[in-house]
Structure 1
Amino acid sequence: MNCRTIKERRMFTQISWTDYLLAVSILLIIYYLFVGVRYFSSDLKDLLAGKRKPTLKTSGFTQHEPLQNDDSENISVTTDEEANDEFTEVEHLIEKMKTVITDALDKQLVKEEFRQYLRLVLKEFPSVKTSALRPSVNELIVSECEKQGIVAFNEEEVDELWSDKR
């Protein structure tokens, strides 16, 4: 073997795996500290000052999201809260509708009485009236009526029940 390759082998065998991993870890820490200070200094200051809680954004999308400032994050939080309120409202309406349909079946209401009964219940949920979930609720009412064997409504008739017209 060449004298030069022997010296190179000794040099590599003198460094242990522990020393190597320690050096790489230190370099990674320095790198991430630099990136954090350079690009996320305001976020880190807010986090360390306790002004903001650490949050992890999980998304099913692989696209890059645009950078957001604190104001836009607060807007998205309120939008999420509003969406949760909307879903809660729809869940309450669905439960109420199932009860109403069962009650109408027990009382053997005629179609016009049942229509008025549904109209009164729908008036209790004005936020669902303007919701994007309204067509789904209409479809559910039609399917529940068909399932219970009550007077058949189509989706257009149910949609008319949301209006204040009689």
Structure 2
Amino acid sequence: MGLIVTIKKQLMFSQISWTDYLLAVTILLAIYYLFVGIRYFSGDLKALLSGKRKHILKTSGFPRNEPFQNTASEDNPVTSNEEADDEFAEVEYLIEKVKTVVTEALGKQLVKEEFKHYLRLVLKDYPNVKTSGLRPSVNELIVSECEKQGIVAFNEEEVDELWSGEEQ
């Protein structure tokens, strides 16, 4: 009885070629990834396929010396969710830029007025955050980053004045 089962298994496996096996595995993987894509990323896929959202490859870090650019145009209106996403993305860029500025100021040992001027220039590149509801949070982050690095102490009112872009 055991010999018959062994012979049947050998016949079964010898009838399947490597090409057939790889084709079956490829089809199963495609079905699996299609299921995962539809199940977990259906909203993103619909927006991408309908042309409402352009596919953007995210790089590590943030664009240096470039303000965040909104990709909306008359042909491509941005929904409120996308606007909120853009706003958060812009704030994330600003946060990374502020951390870099604070680190650079520490390395260059800038005096308080030089640092204020440098920070004012950075904040000027983010006018959308200036009018955003997230501005107080950004101000708080700037104060905490300065305290954490042990450089010139700002309070939130002083940081809030930096958004005006005017020298005092």
TM-score after normalising by structure 2: 0.53
Work out the CA distance in 2 between the residues paired with 1:164 and 1:92. 19
Count of aligned positions:
92
Superposition map of 1:34-113 within 5 A: 78-113=79-114
* Residue 163 (1) aligns with residue 164 (2): yes
**Aligned mates of 2:121, 2:159 — CA distance in 1:** 12
Counterparts of 1:110 and 1:164 in 2: how far apart (Å)? Answer: 18
Structure 2 match to 1:145: 146
Q: Tell me the SS of whatever aligns to 1:80.
A: helix
> Any idea what SS the aligned residue of 1:152 has?
coil
Q: CA deviation at 1:164?
A: 2.5
Structure having the larger proportion of residues in helix: 1
Asked if 1:134 is matched to 2:154, the reply is no
The amino acid of 1:132's aligned partner reads G
Question: Any idea what the Cα deviations from partners look like across 1:125-151, whole Å, max 9, x if unmatched?
Answer: 110000000000000000000000000
Which digits, 9 at most, give the CA deviation of each residue in 1:96-118, with x for residues without a partner?
00000000000000000000000
Partner of 1:154: 155
CA shift, 1:165, in A, is 1.9
C-alpha distance in 1 between matches for 2:150 and 2:95:
18
| Cα separation, 2, equivalents of 1:154 and 1:130 | 20
- Please state whether the residue corresponding to 1:106 is helix, strand or coil: helix
Aligned residue number for residue 6 of structure 1: none
Partner of 2:120: 119
Identity %: 78
Residues 65-100 of structure 1: CA deviation (Å, up to 9, x unaligned): xxxxxxxxxx9x711110000000000000000000
Task: Measure, in 2, the Cα distance between the counterparts of 1:139 and 1:100.
Answer: 15
Which residue identity is paired with 2:143?
A: V
**Structure 1 residues without counterparts, runs of 5 or longer:** 1-50, 52-74
CA RMSD of aligned residues (A): 1.6
**Mapping of 1:14-53 within 5 angstroms?**
none
Runs (5+) with no aligned partner, structure 2: 1-49, 51-76
Instruction: Say if 2:94 and 2:126, in contact at 8 Å, map to a contact too.
Output: yes
CA distance in 1, matches of 2:143, 2:129: 17
> In terms of Rg, which structure is larger?
1
Amino acid at match of 2:84: A
